[in-house]
Structure 1
Amino acid sequence: MKLSIVILNYNVRYFLELCLRSVEAAITNIEAEIIVVDNHSSDDSCAMVRLQFPNVKLIENKENHGFSKGNNIGVAHAKGDYLCILNPDTVVAEDTFIKTLAFAEQKSHLGIVGCQLIDGRGNFLPESKRNIPTPKVALQKLLANSKNYYNTNLKPNDIGVTAVLVGAFMILKRDVYNEVGGFDEDYFMYGEDVDLSYKVLKAGYKNYFFGETTIIHYKGESTLKDKVYAKRFYGAMEIFYKKHFKKHAVISTVVKVILGLASMRKPANTLSKVIVKETLVISNAPNKQLRNKMATSLSFSKDLADITKESQIVFDSEFLSYKTIIEFIKTKNIGNQNTYRIWVKSSNFMLGSDSSTGRGEVVSF
């Protein structure tokens, strides 16, 4: 088998369904399997997977094991030569895996391959490609200088070597994953992708950013960006430093101070206000249920050219390809004046996110 896609889910039933629909469309011509590991969700995620995706291998944990252990459990059941670690709050294009695997096959000493991630408004997510967060770099970031934290040498559409990739989307050989011990289970959530990237580098492999494919990552769906998030994130970074930068007592002291200050900072909300004058649904047919649900003025069109500024755009995913939707959100949001929702018509819900730091919106009919 060529590819095993491991998706760790926790209480994001609707985002998981959309993710699985996009993944199924993307593996039509690939020998692949999908493994969903559920970390004891209290919603109906598991029932949905069993009913709507009978070919998906579903692993139902009896407790929330966290990101690292949850993914390691999934990988233990994987049969593919390659793994894709994928967040459930993502949407992939139909050619994402084909293009990324073709790139991977060309490389020797291949470590991890990541791709271009955008949020629900089409904004590039800089964590798609990062440098090693040394104590010095962490201090600079705390002081609002992220130049050395993110890999700014590569543009969003570029291809090149980078040190750290984000756990929302990672492709690597299963043998490499197992060689370095997979995700370190000392990390419950956050920091494990930095740690894995670093372990792969230390094992003699090269990590790559592959900017020729783009996916949506609705950041903040599995956890809200609040003080709890900050505490967990910087706590995870402290684990990272103790494991990899613990030899110097002065560095250890500086790290504790940096992380203590950083954990008190509440992440900024990057949401820019948008005045939505109308809702335009891009679909091949009007829908009465959708029309009754929306409070704003609503119209239907088959033509993407009809989209205007200050509108909420609802994409019918059974009319448009996921790649078309992703590329439009990425390239056509002129002046960042529109918001976007993806409509899963057969399941009667739509979802999207207007911020990379807050929870998205799900509307079911």
Structure 2
Amino acid sequence: MDKVFSIIVTFNGEKWIRTAISSLLMEGDSGVIVVDNGSSDSTVDIIKTEFPQIDLICLNKNLGFGCGNNIGIARAISLGADYVFLLNQDAFVAPGALSALSNYLLENLEYDVASPIHCSPDIHTLDKKTLRNYVVQYAPEYISDACLGSIKDSYSIRGINAAAWMVRVSAFKKVGGFDPLFFMYGEDDDLVNRMNYHGCRFVLLPSAKIIHFRESSSVLRKSYFLDLKLRAERIKSNLLIELKQPGLGYLYMAKYIVAKSFFKPFSDFILDLNVGGLFAHLIACFMLFVKIKVIRDHGRICAFGGPVFLEHGLGIRS
């Protein structure tokens, strides 16, 4: 029987973790691995006390969503996993979702990643962000069929956010894990690009559902400077996705960074006088320039493929 391991990366997730883990345990045979990114709340205590059967990995500091998942993926592979299911800490699976996803991949070898329908804030409402950013763009046939009341069993889709992915282990071995250059935002879009580049295919299953509560931004943004840092991180990640395309030279990369995070923000500032937006772009510009060689190296490594970034979730596997 094929082995499925579910992975949750946590960071101060006491509000959601009971629901997330319980929903996975109700699915039966899936092993559950939790990687905690140095939580300062009671997340770890809850898991140790209420879910002692969980494989819990505690990190000393927050390494980010991607690196946390890489550590969990590497652990699952070492335990003989055939499939890995990634689930956000602020989400839970509806009954039968896990088996529907793994069984579909078992019976349809042409696909490597299966995604459920993302609902929020309840099972009767599609998650607006996932709908707008992925489903409308990459699976318009599903939208048409849903409007006409004739939904099919599955839909090919270029990619979807990683709040809930069922992935063949062979796909991670072919493409690698999340790039540690992405600390927050964009790591799943980067991996979607790499999956497509190496010929891995995504499928959307309407019969499988998750409910994604979505973390409140007000919890994260406690000060003006933290808000500025997060905005800069998002801008950096969006530009980094483009800069990691295979074959780009340093000159093109430098021109792209200057155009997108220096000249354009100044022209926008003249129109809207948004000081915060201007500074966020300038910070992102600096962060990209200081790592331009590493970015190019990672782009070349990702083009070659292989199980990169999975060794301890940090560096490149030799």
Q: Same fold (TM over 0.5)?
A: yes
Shift of 1:229: 3.9
Q: Tell whether 2:142 aligns with 1:154.
A: yes
Q: Tell whether 2:92 aligns with 1:119.
A: no
Contact 2:86 2:162 in 1 (8 A): yes
Aligned-partner residue type, residue 25 of structure 2: E
Show the counterpart of 1:290.
Answer: none
Shift of 1:224: 3.8
> Partners of 1:167 and 1:81 in 2: how far apart?
18
Show the counterpart of 1:291.
Answer: none
Show the counterpart of 1:178.
Answer: 173
TM-score normalised by the chain length of structure 2 = 0.69
Shift of 1:75: 1.1
Contact 2:139 2:156 in 1 (8 A): no
Gaps of 5+ in 1: 133-145, 266-365
Shift of 1:228: 4.6
1:206 to 195, 201, 221: 201
> Partners of 2:264 and 2:26 in 1: how far apart?
42
Contact 2:105 2:112 in 1 (8 A): no
2:34 to 33, 36, 39: 36
CA gap of 1:259–1:176, structure 2 versus 1, over 3 A, is farther
Show the counterpart of 1:57.
Answer: 55
Q: Tell whether 2:277 aligns with 1:264.
A: yes
Q: Tell whether 2:66 aligns with 1:48.
A: no
Show the counterpart of 1:242.
Answer: 243
Show the counterpart of 1:107.
Answer: 108
Shift of 1:169: 0.5
Q: How does 1:62-101 map to 2 (within 5 A)?
A: 62-78=60-76, 79=79, 80-101=81-102
> Partners of 1:82 and 1:194 in 2: how far apart?
20
Q: Tell whether 2:184 aligns with 1:196.
A: no
Aligned-partner residue type, residue 75 of structure 1: I
Gaps of 5+ in 2: 222-226, 269-273, 279-318
Q: Secondary structure at the match of 2:100?
A: helix
Q: What does the per-residue CA deviation read over 1:149-200, in whole Å, with 9 as the maximum and x for residues that have no partner?
A: x643432665311112111111111121132111111100111111111111
TM-score normalised by the chain length of structure 1 = 0.61
Shift of 1:128: 3.5
Show the counterpart of 2:19.
Answer: 18
Worse overlay, 151-160 or 102-111: 151-160
Give the aligned CA root-mean-square deviation in angstroms.
3.0
Shift of 1:147: 6.3
Aligned residues: 248
Worse overlay, 111-120 or 36-45: 111-120
Show the counterpart of 1:230.
Answer: 231
Q: Secondary structure at the match of 1:43?
A: coil
Contact 2:239 2:257 in 1 (8 A): no
Aligned-partner residue type, residue 186 of structure 1: L
Structure with the bigger RCO (C-alpha within 8 Å, sep 6+) is 2
Worse overlay, 211-220 or 5-14: 211-220
